[in-house]
Each structure stands twice: as structure tokens, then as C-alpha cells.
Amino acid sequence: MLSSQDIEFFITVADSRSLAAAARKLNVTPPSVSQRLQNIERKLGVKLIDRNARLTSLTTEGEVLASKGQQLLKDLEHLTQDVSDKKLAISGELKLVSSLGFGEKHIGPLAAEFQSLYPSLRIELFLSDIPKWSAHNSPDIMFYIGHLQDSALKRIVLSKNRRLLLASPEYLKSAPPLDEPQDLELHRCIALRENDEDATMWRLTHIDTQRETSVRVVPVLSSNVSRVTKNWCIDGQGIIQRSEWDVKEELKTGKLVRVLPEYQLQEADIVALLSSDQFHRSQKVSAFLDYVKQKLPARL
């Protein structure tokens, strides 16, 4: 029978590129990792890791153990919290994932504020231009902006958000006319490559007629970092589409202006994604989620 320590050990191995990398994480020698892994495989009577390749990969049984084991550990943590006299104490580890720009500007500061309120809590924030939910090492909360493909996750809207087409006044002074979406093909366009979205297909809907138009732009500049693309736009390098929360200050100061304002882009609500429903969340997850819902609107 596997212990919780066995499961924690295997999840670390599953989340590592090699047994040597797992040994470094666990601060032990590679032979000891290999020996303990073999003991676990003997307990179960199945092979969990394919060691034929230079980099380890999980067998089908290994995939099941990593995925189910992660949930078992979370359930065990929740059970411990439920029967503990300190149920309301916010402690342990909280794992967060967020898109790069939004996480840097908003989730990072909110996480630091929250941790200062609960010193026994450890928060790990992972930022990525392509935030994904990992079955082997799933976060407690993932903050996401844009179209959501994985409908199995619980989705909580934190704030409504829309995307805008923008340019600098300096760029528009010498740019070709821009009256219809098709005119974008004659302009310098800047693409932000994030969330595995098609960054060069811009879809616009006329606000009054609801007529939809799709334009395939050929970006002269592209990046996976939103701050870089926004700075290019401010410097007069071309047209971008950005979330409204990220350009409020630039619109206010006139550094950027909206183009084709009679058209709207696809909405991109700011959401929190969780694997569990409200009745099965740990106290720390619920508390941080409530904190973000309370503080975030004032920051946007």
C-alpha cells in the first residue's frame, strides 16, 4: 500500500525532466531516487516510468498515479483542515498560475499583501505567456484572460474585460486611412502571442449591425510579452489589440487612442479557474479568492 510520502515522491519525479533532476529537487542522490521508485513499482506491480529515453517519461499507469495522486494529496489536506481545531487558520502552501502581464501587475502584489496577512502561508506564483493547467502539478488557482478551452475547470469571473484596437497619435499621422477592418491589411500590426491563441486572426464585430469580420494580419512585430508590444505601439510602430485593463493609463494620457471604435473585439473576461467547487475548496483557496475579488476591481 502506498503512503502519502510515496505519492509526494512520485509526483516530484513525474514533474521532473529526469531522475537526476528529481534527485536535485529532493536533495538526494540519483541512485536513491531510482531505488525508491523501483520499490513503489514493486508495491503496485506496474511500471511507472519509461527509462529507455534520455529523458524520463510516464507510462499510462504513471500518468494515472500522478494525476490521481495529486488529487488524493489535496483531499487529504482538506480532510486534515476539516477535522483540525485550527480549521480557520490560513497556512500551508498556495500555488498560483497566471498570465505574464496580468500576474506581474496585479496577482503578484495581491499575493504579497495576502501573505503578509497570514505569515504561516507560503505562496508560489508561476507566470507564463501560455498558462496551462498541469495534471501532474495542478495549481490551486489559475488566473486567465481570454477564451477558455478547458470546460472541466470551475470558472469564476473576477472582472469583465474587453479588448481594444489601439495606436499612437504619432503613428496615425502618417498611416493609411483606417475606416474598415479590411484596412488593417495596409497597416503595420503588432501581435501578442499568448494563451495559444491565433495571434494574427483579428475578429471584429460591428457594434450596431453585429456584422462579424475576420482579418488575417501579417505582424511586422510580435512578442509573447504584453509590455513589449504595448511599448512598441506607444513608440509609433503600429497597431495592437490589448485588454482594456492594461491600457487605461495610456488612454487617459493620450499616449494611445482607439481605432475602429465602432467595432468590438472578442471579450476577454478576467477569470479564476479551479478544479474544485465551492464546497470542496480549502480555507486558504477560498480566502485568497475572496481577497482577490474584493481588491481587484479597485486596481483595474
Q: Which tens digit of pLDDT belongs to each residue from 60-71?
A: 888 888 888 888
d(CA 186, CA 174): 12
Residue 84 scores a pLDDT above 60: no
The pTM assigned to this predicted structure is 0.61
Nearest to 163 by CA among 263, 255, 297: 263
Share of the chain above pLDDT 70, in %: 89
SS3 string, 61-92, reads: HHHHHHHHHHHHHHHHHHHHHHHCCCCCCCCE
Q: What is the structure's pLDDT at 247? A: 92
Would the CATH topology of 4-83 be identical to that of 163-265? no
pLDDT band at residue 56, thresholds of 50, 70 and 90? Answer: confident
Q: What is the structure's pLDDT at 93? A: 92
Q: What is the CATH number of domain 92-158+269-299?
A: 3.40.190.10
d(CA 290, CA 190): 36
Nearest to 130 by CA among 141, 115, 121, 142: 142
Q: What is the structure's pLDDT at 147? A: 67
Query: Average pLDDT of 187-191?
Result: 96
Query: Average pLDDT of 185-208?
Result: 90
The helix (H) or strand (E) run that includes residue 192 is: strand 190-192
Q: What is the CATH number of domain 163-265?
A: 3.40.190.290
User: Which CATH number does the domain 4-83 belong to among 3.40.50.2300, 1.10.10.10, 1.20.120.1200, 3.30.450.20?
Assistant: 1.10.10.10
| SS3 state of residue 22 | helix
